[in-house]
A and B are shown apart, each in its own frame.
Chain A
Amino acid sequence: MDFGLSEEQQLLEQTLRGFLAEHVPIERVRELRDADCPNDRSIWSALAELGFAGVLVPEAQNGSGLTLLDAALVAQALGHSATPSPFLASGIMAPMALATAGGTAADAWLEGIGSGDLVMGVAVTELFSVREGAGVQQRGGQLHGRAMMAVDACNANLLLVAIDSETFAVVKTDAAGLEITRLNTVDATRCTSEAVFEGVRPEAVFDGAGDAIRRMLEAGRIALAADALGACEAMIEQSVAYAKERKQFGRLIGSFQAVKHMCSEMIAELEPARSLLWYSAHSFDAMPEETPLLACHVLAHVSEIAREIASVSTQVHGGIGWTDEQNLHFWFKRIANARHLLGGPEHLRDQAAKLQGFAPAA
Chain B
Amino acid sequence: MDLEFDARYDDFRSEVREFLSKHKPPKSLGVAEEEASGRITWLSLLIEHGYWARTIPEAYGGYGAPPDLLETVIMDEEFNRVGVARGFNAQGPSMLVPTLLTHGSEEQRKRWISPTMRGEIIWCQGYSEPGSGSDLASLQTSGTEDGDDFLLNGQKIWTSTADKAQMCFILVRTEPDAKKHEGISYVLLPMDTPGIEVQRLETMSGSIGENSFNQVFLTDVRVPRANVVGKRGEGWKIANTTLKHERSSLNANAEGTLLRLAKLMQKETIGGVPAMASPMYRDRLMKLQARALTMKHHGMRMLTCNLKGEPAGVAGLIVKLQNCQLSFDMAALAIDVMGELGALYDHTKYERERGYWQALSMFSLGLIIGGGTAQIQKNIIAEHGLGLPREPKPAKV
Contact = CB atoms under 8 A, between A and B. Distances in A.
B291 interface: yes
B386 A272 contact: no
B3 A300 contact: no
Contact of B295 (A4, A272, A297): A272
A129 B92 CA distance: 55
Interface in B199-252: none
B391 interface: yes
B286 A276 contact: no
A304 B300 CA distance: 23
Interface stretch (B169-177, B186-194, B374-382): B374-382
Contacts of B311: none
Nearest to B326: A272
B4 A286 contact: yes
Interface hub of A271, A275, A349 (most chain B Cβ within 10 A): A271
Contacts of A349: 282-283, 286-287, 290
Interface string B259-296: 00010011000000000110100110111011101110
Contact of A301 (B291, B298, B305, B382): B291
A268 B381 contact: yes
Contact of A251 (B265, B294, B387, B392): B392
Given A244-B389, A263-B388, A264-B381, A3 B301 contact: yes
Contacts of A304: 287
A50 to B, nearest CB: 22
Contacts of A263: 381-382, 386, 388
Nearest to A2: B2
- Which size bracket describes the interface of B in this complex? 35 or more
- Which size bracket describes the interface of A in this complex? 35 or more
B4 A3 contact: no
A358 B297 contact: no
Given A257-B375, A264-B386, A276-B297, A271 B286 contact: no
A267 B381 contact: yes
Contacts of B308: 2
Contact of B322 (A9, A243, A272): A272
Nearest to A265: B378
Interface hub of B277, B321, B382, B383 (most chain A Cβ within 10 A): B382
A263 B2 CA distance: 32
Contact of A264 (B262, B298, B385): B385
A1 B2 contact: yes
Interface string B297-331: 11011011100100000110010011000000000
A252 interface: yes
Contacts, number: 163
A69 interface: yes
Contacts of A282: 1, 3
B332 interface: no
Contacts of B300: 3, 275, 279
A301 B283 CA distance: 12
B1 A69 contact: yes
B10 to A, nearest CB: 14
A1 B3 CA distance: 5
A278 B297 contact: yes
Nearest to A69: B1
A105 interface: no
Contacts of B290: 276, 297-298, 300-301, 349, 352
A3 B3 contact: yes
Contact of B298 (A243, A255, A272, A358): A272
A260 interface: yes
Contacts of A359: 276-277, 279, 282
Q: Which 3 residue pairs of A and B lie closest in terms of their CB atoms, listed nearest first?
A: A260-B382, A272-B294, A349-B286
21 contacts: A1-B70, A3-B301, A5-B1, A243-B388, A256-B391, A257-B375, A260-B382, A260-B383, A261-B382, A263-B388, A265-B378, A272-B291, A275-B298, A275-B300, A278-B297, A286-B3, A286-B4, A287-B3, A300-B290, A358-B262, A360-B277
